[in-house]
Amino acid sequence: MSQNPIPPTQKFLQYPDGDVIISLSDTVEFILHSETLSKHSDFFRIGLSSTWVGNKVCGTKTVAGRTVTMKRYELDIDTRKEEHFLEAKPMPTPAAERHIPTIYTEKIEAAYQLGFELMYEDVEGPPVHSSCKNMCYMAHVDEFMDAYQCYTSKTMCWRLEALISSCDEERMVDRDPFHYLRIAQQLHMPRIWISALKAAALQHYQRVERPDHVRDGISGWTDQDSGPEQKMLKACGPEILEVVRSLSKKIATHYEPVRITLTTIKFDSILWEKEGLRSYLNNDRNTSIARNVFERWQKYPFAQDSLFKLLDDHIFWKIFTGQYEAGDMVDPLCRASMKSGYRIYDILKAVVEKLRECVAPLLSAFQISKFFKRHESTTKDECNRVAADILKSPVSPTPIQGATSYTVAADSGQIPKVIQFRSLKLNIELVEYARQSYKDFVPNCEYYGLLGDVHMYGWDLVPGPAFCRVRHRFHTLGEQPRLRQTVQDFARFSASAWINRPAVKQPFGLLEEYSRVLDRISPGLPDHILGKLDEARQGLPLLFRSEYPSAVQHDDFLENNFHVNGATGHITGVVDWADAIIAPFGLSLGGLETILGVQTSSNWYFHPNHVELREYFWDTFYKDIGPVSADSRRSIGVARLFGLFRTHGFEEGDARIAYLEALCML
């Protein structure tokens, strides 16, 4: 890499143990000290903080009239106007001590930007732009980055796009895949990514049944310039290239809006990285960041397609509810190398987790925007003003919004109510029946009339996060006690409708309607699922016996429609009763699957202990409702089975079979 000469008057501070030095000519110098390399840190991070952490002072130096105080991991920078406090946590790599990257700029703003790009965007060599006004010099950054291996997925996206953007390179790769791997090494792609590409080649050759010695040659490849291995890989060059292109595009599509906004707000974004988006947005001057990300995201073709889809198909929704997984970022050709525990899988999983952290306000902004586009007779500000008058407090949107409503809560946190503006009028009588059946699981509701063409309601505030915000945590190892508590409470919730039976009448003709539903679902089902459907069909008359109860049922028991105590797992309440139905008891028992599993675009994935947890649900449920007849037990099973067919039997494509097989064959 070519190097610009360093001005002869420039002096650099240098501490032992591999410091990273960023020098500002005639202004200030700051140091990211690597005196102690953490054995457990996963990322190389640099971030602003408002106070000192209190680590040991390692020394001071005076350069060009500026005093630089260095602490372990931290540095005091005096800019004459204000003080900046920095914190650095280096990656645990002994090789890092051998590399001392140096950057020269003329302005502190440029140094901040450069430092940000170095740590978060992996800018090096040619991508660093030079100009008369802002000259940048970087030496040994490539070795530094390679030693630390601090590559984020957005960095990989940039590297992969750079690799395949040239037509000449693409033709060369098609002719000689080893040329591609050499380019990958020149771009300093981490070894894990090169290994993944080799895995793709190996899988291709296994599929086409090439001899073992061919695969052995690929496995042993390092950096050969010639040899028989080149010919061995020639046939799968296009496949490798396609894997890279697919992976790159998928990461770019879903991360790019966040990445662009992070670079736009520069160093402030580090607070986002360190503390999480929710804490970051509590800062008044940063409240528009989620909106900025969302607006940028909307400009992408992928977003334009999603804006016209149902909410269930929206990428925000899939990420937010855990339906979007690391495997969804990977081309099927190399999915075999993405098993849990592989470093490349872990990187992609980290990207999805970061997206999930960021996407809650984006999803909320998307839903709020759509709501007010449908209701131009009123505005968000008008709704906020009316809600503030009712609650006697300033209000803000709740973290979770509905598809056909806009909900706000008091900013003070002292008022246990929310105000909801809905497209359609609720059946308050049905909500009251639900309260009689499910007691404290259902919040109180009060109607406040119309504002323009939207209906206003006041609800008791249900404490705790929606389950969709904690499900991925509840499903991790060590969290089973919380998940078990959620299962127990859902059993109590379900049993309440059997025990408490308000005088409700189910609609006329439900038996015939349910039979028609099964008739519409049955075409195209494989025999083993048809057998379960026939079991449901034959059992339908049991649901309409005089002794079998009807009940108010939620009919939309999704992960966003019930809240939990994040510390204990207790269900604190069930919301959004707009789609409640009166039907034979048990049609909504399939809500248990939402607690025990995650629905992706193509399948259901269950908690490893779902069988034991499912048994625990039924034990708790039958203990709560007391002794029942054999016919009633069979009826409850038929109602659950029919409810699953009714909910998932109309999915399109292969997903329908996958869902029904996962749920109805249990």
Q: Which tens digits make up the pLDDT trace of 403-424?
A: 789 999 998 878 899 999 999 9
Please check whether residue 199 lies inside any domain of the structure.
yes
pLDDT band at 498 (very low <50, low <70, confident <90, very high): very high
Please state, in angstroms and as integers, the Cα–Cα distance from residue 456 to each residue in 93, 158, 375, 393, 409, following that order: 58, 48, 13, 17, 13
210 and 359 belong to one structural domain: yes
328 and 390 belong to one structural domain: no
337 and 197 belong to one structural domain: yes
Q: Would you state the structure tokens that stand for residue 207, as one six-digit string?
A: 């599929």
- Residue 55, amino acid: N
Least confident of 30-44, 175-189, 326-340, 648-662: 30-44
Q: What number of helices (H) and strands (E) belong to the chain?
A: 25, 20
Highest mean pLDDT among 10-24, 86-100, 609-623: 609-623
Instruction: Report the pLDDT averaged over residues 132-139.
Output: 26
- Give the distance from CA 425 to its chain's centroid: 33
pLDDT band at 584 (very low <50, low <70, confident <90, very high): very high
Where does a domain end: 336, 363, 390?
A: 363
Tally the domains of the chain: 4
Please check whether residue 11 lies inside any domain of the structure.
no
Q: What CATH number did the domain enclosing 495 receive?
A: 3.90.1200.10
pLDDT band at 228 (very low <50, low <70, confident <90, very high): very low
Q: What is the pLDDT of residue 473?
A: 79
Decide: 621 and 489 in contact? Cβ < 8 Å: no
Where does a domain end: 424, 440, 460?
A: 460
288 and 304 belong to one structural domain: yes
Q: Would you state the structure tokens that stand for residue 343, as one six-digit string?
A: 């470093």
Please check whether residue 9 lies inside any domain of the structure.
no
Q: What is the pLDDT of residue 548?
A: 96
Decide: 160 and 348 in contact? Cβ < 8 Å: no
For residue 257, is pLDDT > 60?
Answer: no
Instruction: Report the pLDDT averaged over residues 542-555.
Output: 95
129 and 181 belong to one structural domain: no
Residue linked to tokens 């997984």: 325
Output 485 or 169, whichever has higher pLDDT. 485
Where does a domain end: 443, 460, 477?
A: 460
Output 155 or 449, whichever has higher pLDDT. 449
Q: What is the pLDDT of residue 131?
A: 28
Q: Would you state the structure tokens that stand for residue 100, as one six-digit string?
A: 């001392």
Decide: 71 and 52 in contact? Cβ < 8 Å: yes
Instruction: Report the pLDDT averaged over residues 614-635.
Output: 96
Backbone angles phi, psi at 406, to 5 degrees: -135, 125
Four-residue CA torsion sign, 223, 228, 233, 237? positive
For residue 237, is pLDDT > 90?
Answer: no
633 and 576 belong to one structural domain: yes
Please check whether residue 483 lies inside any domain of the structure.
yes
d(CA 138, CA 5): 10
135 and 267 belong to one structural domain: no
Please check whether residue 42 lies inside any domain of the structure.
yes
66 and 106 belong to one structural domain: yes
Please check whether residue 182 lies inside any domain of the structure.
yes
| Contacts for 560 with CB less than 8 Å, ≥ 6 apart | 321, 400, 466, 467, 468, 576
381 and 502 belong to one structural domain: no
Please check whether residue 4 lies inside any domain of the structure.
no
103 and 168 belong to one structural domain: no
Please check whether residue 354 lies inside any domain of the structure.
yes
d(CA 349, CA 345): 6
Q: What CATH number did the domain enclosing 429 receive?
A: 3.30.200
216 and 303 belong to one structural domain: yes
d(CA 435, CA 458): 15
Highest mean pLDDT among 229-233, 243-247, 482-486: 482-486
For residue 621, is pLDDT > 90?
Answer: yes
Please state, in angstroms and as integers, the Cα–Cα distance from residue 338 to each residue in 330, 388, 475, following that order: 8, 50, 20
Per-residue pLDDT tens over the stretch 586-597: 999 999 999 998
Output 603 or 381, whichever has higher pLDDT. 381
For residue 426, is pLDDT > 70?
Answer: yes
Return mean pLDDT, the chain: 63
- Give the distance from CA 347 to its chain's centroid: 13
422 and 485 belong to one structural domain: no
What is the domain range of residue 112? 20-150
